[in-house]
Amino acid sequence: MKKFAVALLASTSLCTTVMAADDAIQVGFVTTLTTGAAVIGNDMRDAVNLALDHMDNTMGGKPVEVLFEDDGFKPATGKQATDKLIKEDDVDIVAGYIWSHVLMASYRSVLKADKVIISANAGPSAIAGKLCDPNFFSTSWQNDQTPMALGELLNARGVKSLYLMAPNYAAGKDMVAGVERTFKGDIMGKDLTKWGADAQLDFSAELAKAKASGAEGIAVFYPGKAGGAFIKQYQQAGLADVMPLFTMFTVDALSLPKLQEANMTGILGSEMSMFWSPEMDNPANQKFVAGFREKYGRYPSFYAAQSYDAMNLIKSAADALDGDFSSTSAVRYELAKANFDSIRGDFEFGNNHMPIQNFYARKVVEDADGNWTTEITKTVFEKHQDTYAATCSM
Amino acid sequence: MDTVLLITQAVNGLQLGVLLFLLSAGLTLTFGIMDLINLAHASFYMLGAFFGATVTIYTGSFTLGFFAAIIAVLIVAWIIEKVIISQLYTRDHLDQLLATFGLILIADTLVHIIWGPAGLAIALPPLLQGQVTFGGVTLPSFRILIIGVGLLVALGLYWLVNHTRTGMLIRAGASNRRMLNNLGVDVGSLFAAVFCMGAALAGVAGILITPITEASIGMGNDIIITAFVVVIIGGIGSIKGAFIAAIIIGMIDTFGRAFLDQLFMTVMPAETAETAAPAVSAMLIYLLMAIILSLRPAGLFPPKLR
Amino acid sequence: MEASSKRSILAGAVFLILLAVVPVALFYSGKIFWIDIFTRLVILAIAGTSLYLLLGVAGLPSFGHAAYLGLGAYAVGVPIHYATIGGAEWLASYNGWWQFFLAIVVSALFALITGAISLRTRGVHFIMITMAFSQMIYYALISLEEYGADDGLSVYASSEFAPLMLDNPVHLYGICFGSLLFVLYTVHRLQHSRFGRVLQAAKQNETRVLASGVNPFKYRLLAFVIAGVIAGYAGALMANFALFISPDMVEWSRSGELMFMVILGGSQHLLGPLVGSSLFILLEFVLSRWTIYWHLPFGIMLLLVVLFGRGGIIGMLRKGQQS
């Protein structure tokens, strides 16, 4: 017992002696590096590393060090990782966060320490609205924006009746509500399926209902592995010919290679709404996508794009402040300008520090080399701001 | 209510039930005969999926992948039984829980290291990609195949348990473990055989589900709890009980997801029904288990006399 | 035997003293993060000790203990939520006494109802039925959009117990550690009272206890309620520590982790849960810094502890001492 206690003490002191170079700018990056969701986290980490390559590991004349932490897909672990970055490593800024619940759990820790937190994915309504904070920034989107764009896209495509499916959790409900807000036709039915640790991946019952509903189209939100599972079953059920599929955050550069591997041709031509697509024609994006494909041999996902932007956003503030991050108010003043070349082209931050940006319709296509990717077909929203900005008192 | 939809959902429920049965059959036998709680049963399901998917991708043949998965899982199960599991039979349930939880962590991490986090997706053979129509009811052919395989396995197990000497020993072991020793049986070999067979069935379930979803890390951990619910409701050690409970749960789960919201909408406002229905349908199987256990604490079909 | 028992009491005392001193010392020497790890560890040890009462003393393997952590946490988070944004005046309050009272009452009620049903079963069936009830709570919390559904809720203030400040890490750690000592003492006393002896006797041989005219059901139900209340209290502390509540706290694998901590430390020893949670949390933290594949060495360690030791870490240490 005593030995154990001694060992415990020894390990304690050992682990706290790791200290970084004084002069570097330290960025903490929290994402998912374990469990199956690590495929998203790895994509984000790869993008961050690419961004570091592109800026020669320097911001505002100082070397940059990024500390990656794993949230294990769990709010409690994510919060602990965030606390560690803030209290022990004393990083200058925290970024990352795929999941709303991990962001919500970690949010307050960062704000209490008066540091800036940048979400490279999660965009829950609470943080966009009532709980908005000057120290929070997003390089992604607010949850409702993408589905609202999808509703508008459905109107433009002349879809009169729709079947909706999403997982039964906060973001899933946001997506459904977002589509309903802008879609003008009839909702023939909707299903919120079981999510969480034992998430439902077999959608046979729901697909049978959708088919029986006679809707003209089906719109779904299934992030991660559920997305691939849904699309396979959609095709296996023979719905591809009768009920066109519209998606949100379901078909991306992570799922497309696997769908291609499984020969799910039913997905080709299907449309989705998104703020970005890999072929977008602006220099920053061309450099990012070409660099990413060269370094990693695959297309970047939107998660990667958002993470790349997060690093460049931080760099813009560091450059303006000559690498001096000692004043948080100065940092956020510079960040709020969004003065960098974003992969999505020009955008600005709203009062709640969520991007005001364009949303596009993009379609699944085969590129010149035979890889499946996406391509923009139409601009759905220009300079769109989320609806919660009005309830943010900033 | 629409009859076609009703039949479609019943077949969907049957398919889910059959899959759960494949997963629970081994669990209920190891539980009943060796008194072993094996959380790592989930890992065989996952390994079946990964082995099968890998071979399918390399050879282009799902059939080859299917049989390769069974063989590979058998080999892994045999090694694990010899090295680790055989030492756990005499231990209490808590030790077994902790050790097999450790095994899950090991298996999940090894899969992460070997195959990466992304998981594997495979294509179906062209023959199985389409749908079949019986009198207005259209169903994906592959799901019919799953039902067929599952029912075949159920029949095979029924025959094995009721009409062979091994089956007699299995039944004897499930109802009274001590009797096995008195019969002068090589208990070690019997246990190993039952364990490996159960693992192989879990592997079959894993490779069968892969073309529908995909092979992914921790995929078994999501479903193992449902399989345990099946085992408990059916009565520990009872193949018949596991089969009936699996079908009941498959049906309840499917019908809950399919019709509960409409049912709720007849008695409450649409808004409330929309949020309540998914929550209640997710709870249904636990509700069922709690009710059954409170009425029949040993499950529906407990093997006679311990 | 006498000497070895004295030695283990001494070892336990040293361990507790270290646990009291080390985090605070680290905090004041500028390593402010470690106290967070230790606070979480101690809160889980409180919940684990309550599980020990069921698992070790009464032989009731509850696999739904995380439900109480969740209920206790929501009993703190929800009143604070309403006090911050308005609504539900009867519930809304920053007052810690009110929140902790709620946590205890809600946990006791849940334990009483589910215990009355669950205790009809034994062994594995008990494991599964307790898990079923906690899963019901999990899915109920996930559907409560009012409280953020699965996104959870930020807890915007700490419970108010003037003059103690729960938002001060050292005060909070002091309260948690004091609570742990109190819970350890209470469970120890319970175990060695007539109540505890009946539980232990019923665990060994139920028929004999019944024959002596005592109905173990009542005793077990009381133990179940006491354990639920302690775990609910731990949940209330957890809400103050994490300043965040979410259904994730209730999910079955959390109950599993709690149980694994107790078994790892030693389910037949009062300090087992504390040793188990210490090892679990510290190893998780240390290993996960070293590699993202940390589950591999961690899983191997769990396996080895079971294969080569009986009665968890404490069992191993005792065996080593005797030989």
Mean pLDDT for the stretch of residues C55-63: 94
Non-local CB neighbours of B292 within 8 Å, separated by 6+ positions: B233, B299, B300
Q: What is each CA distance from A187 to A281, B261, C13, C63, in whole angstroms?
A: 36, 15, 66, 41
Closest residue on chain C to A70 (Cα): C292
The two beta strands, A355-366 and A271-274, are antiparallel
Cβ-based contacts of A34 with chain C (< 8 Å): 292, 295
d(CA C307, CA B83): 10
**What's the pLDDT at A22?**
59
Q: Using one digit for the tens of pLDDT, what is the confidence trace for B72-97?
A: 999 999 999 999 999 999 888 989 99
d(CA C184, CA C50): 9
Q: Which amino acid is at A145?
A: Q
Cβ-based contacts of B223 with chain A (< 8 Å): 198
- Cβ pair B12:A208 closer than 8 A: yes
Partner residue facing A76 (CB), from C8, C149, C242: C242
- C302 in contact with B at a CB cutoff of 8 Å? yes
- Of the pLDDT bands very low, low, confident and very high (cuts 50, 70, 90), residue C3 is low
Mean pLDDT for the stretch of residues C227-243: 96
**What's the pLDDT at B275?**
77
Q: Using one digit for the tens of pLDDT, what is the confidence trace for C6-16?
A: 888 898 999 99
- Of the pLDDT bands very low, low, confident and very high (cuts 50, 70, 90), residue C142 is confident
d(CA C203, CA C267): 14
Residue B30 has pLDDT above 80, yes or no: yes
Contact A305, A343 (CB under 8 A): yes
- A205 in contact with B at a CB cutoff of 8 Å? yes
Cβ-based contacts of C87 with chain A (< 8 Å): none
Mean pLDDT of chain C: 91
- Beta strand segments in A120-221, E: 136-138, 161-167, 186-193, 217-221
**What's the pLDDT at A179?**
95
**Is residue A351 classed as helix, strand or coil in its secondary structure?**
coil
Backbone angles phi, psi at A63, to 5 degrees: -70, 150
Backbone angles phi, psi at A136, to 5 degrees: -105, 135
Closest residue on chain B to C129 (Cα): B290
Residue A328 has pLDDT above 90, yes or no: yes
Q: Using one digit for the tens of pLDDT, what is the confidence trace for C66-102?
A: 999 999 999 999 999 999 888 888 999 999 999 999 9
- A38 in contact with B at a CB cutoff of 8 Å? yes
Higher pLDDT, B107 or B31: B107
Nearest to B119 by CA among C258, A225, C268, C280: A225
Cβ-based contacts of A38 with chain C (< 8 Å): 292
Judged by average pLDDT, the poorest of A93-107, A274-288, B16-30, C3-17 is C3-17
ipTM of the complex: 0.89
Nearest to B214 by CA among B57, B72, B12: B57
Which subunits sit against B, judged by 3+ Cβ pairs under 8 A?
Answer: A, C
Nearest to C115 by CA among C227, C252, C258, C225: C225
Cβ-based contacts of B94 with chain C (< 8 Å): 55, 61, 259, 263, 267
Q: What is each CA distance from B110 to B58, B103, B272, C187, in whole angstroms?
A: 20, 10, 44, 40
- Cβ pair B84:C303 closer than 8 A: yes
Looking at residue B1, the DSSP 8-state letter turns out to be: -
- A171 in contact with C at a CB cutoff of 8 Å? yes
Judged by average pLDDT, the poorest of A42-46, A246-250, B175-179, C209-213 is B175-179
Judged by average pLDDT, the poorest of A144-148, A185-189, A255-259, B167-171 is B167-171
- Six-digit token string for B201: 């069935």
Closest residue on chain C to B232 (Cα): C125
Residue B198 has pLDDT above 90, yes or no: yes
- A199 in contact with C at a CB cutoff of 8 Å? no
Mean pLDDT for the stretch of residues C165-177: 91
What DSSP letter does each residue of C136-158 carry, written as one string? HHHHHHHT-GGGTGGG-EE--S-
- Cβ pair C302:B105 closer than 8 A: yes
Partner residue facing B290 (CB), from C117, C267, C300: C117
Residue A21 has pLDDT above 60, yes or no: no
- Cβ pair C129:B289 closer than 8 A: yes
Radius of gyration of chain A (CA): 21
**What's the pLDDT at A35?**
85
- Of the pLDDT bands very low, low, confident and very high (cuts 50, 70, 90), residue B135 is confident
Calculate what percentage of chain B has a pLDDT beyond 70.
Answer: 98
- Of the pLDDT bands very low, low, confident and very high (cuts 50, 70, 90), residue B34 is confident
Cβ-based contacts of B277 with chain A (< 8 Å): 192
- A339 in contact with B at a CB cutoff of 8 Å? no
**What's the pLDDT at A200?**
87
Q: Using one digit for the tens of pLDDT, what is the confidence trace for B144-177?
A: 999 999 999 999 998 998 888 888 888 787 777 6
d(CA C63, CA C129): 8
- Cβ pair A130:C249 closer than 8 A: no
Cis ω on the peptide bond leading into residue B303 (within 30° of 0)?
no
Partner residue facing B254 (CB), from A42, A205, A225: A205
Length of chain A: 394
- Cβ pair C303:B106 closer than 8 A: yes
Judged by average pLDDT, the poorest of A5-14, A251-260, B49-58, C165-174 is A5-14
Contact A12, C34 (CB under 8 A): yes
Interface test with B, best of A33, A192, A239 (most B CBs within 10 A): A192
Partner residue facing C150 (CB), from A87, A130, A169: A169
The two beta strands, A136-138 and A116-119, are parallel
Q: What is each CA distance from C132 to B98, B229, B244, C67, in whole angstroms?
A: 20, 9, 20, 10
**What's the pLDDT at A17?**
38
Contact C138, C251 (CB under 8 A): yes
Q: Using one digit for the tens of pLDDT, what is the confidence trace for C279-312?
A: 999 998 889 888 889 999 999 999 999 998 888 8
- C251 in contact with A at a CB cutoff of 8 Å? yes
Residue A196 has pLDDT above 80, yes or no: no
The model's pTM is: 0.91
**What's the pLDDT at A14?**
41
Distance from CA of C113 to the nearest CA of A (A): 26
Residue B246 has pLDDT above 90, yes or no: yes
- Cβ pair A39:B119 closer than 8 A: yes
Calculate what percentage of chain B has a pLDDT beyond 90.
Answer: 55
Contact B203, B70 (CB under 8 A): yes
Distance from CA of A130 to the nearest CA of C (A): 9
Cβ-based contacts of B120 with chain A (< 8 Å): 258
Residue B142 has pLDDT above 50, yes or no: yes
Burial group, residue C201, by CB count within 10 angstroms (0-12, 13-18, 19+)? middle
Distance from CA of C99 to the nearest CA of B (A): 27
The two beta strands, A116-119 and A93-96, are parallel
Nearest to A356 by CA among A140, A100, A104: A140
- Of the pLDDT bands very low, low, confident and very high (cuts 50, 70, 90), residue A225 is confident
Burial group, residue A261, by CB count within 10 angstroms (0-12, 13-18, 19+)? middle
Nearest to B41 by CA among B94, B90, B91, B97: B97
Looking at residue C259, the DSSP 8-state letter turns out to be: H
Cβ-based contacts of C295 with chain B (< 8 Å): 105-106, 108-109
CA atoms within a 13 Å half-sphere pointing along the CA-CB vector of C242: 38
Handedness of CA C114, C115, C116, C122 (dihedral sign): positive
The two beta strands, A161-167 and A116-119, are unpaired
Residue C2 has pLDDT above 80, yes or no: no
Looking at residue C95, the DSSP 8-state letter turns out to be: B
- Of the pLDDT bands very low, low, confident and very high (cuts 50, 70, 90), residue B270 is confident
Q: Which amino acid is at A302?
A: F
Contact B8, A208 (CB under 8 A): yes
Cβ-based contacts of C40 with chain A (< 8 Å): 80
**What's the pLDDT at A6?**
45
Mean pLDDT for the stretch of residues A66-95: 94
- A193 in contact with B at a CB cutoff of 8 Å? yes
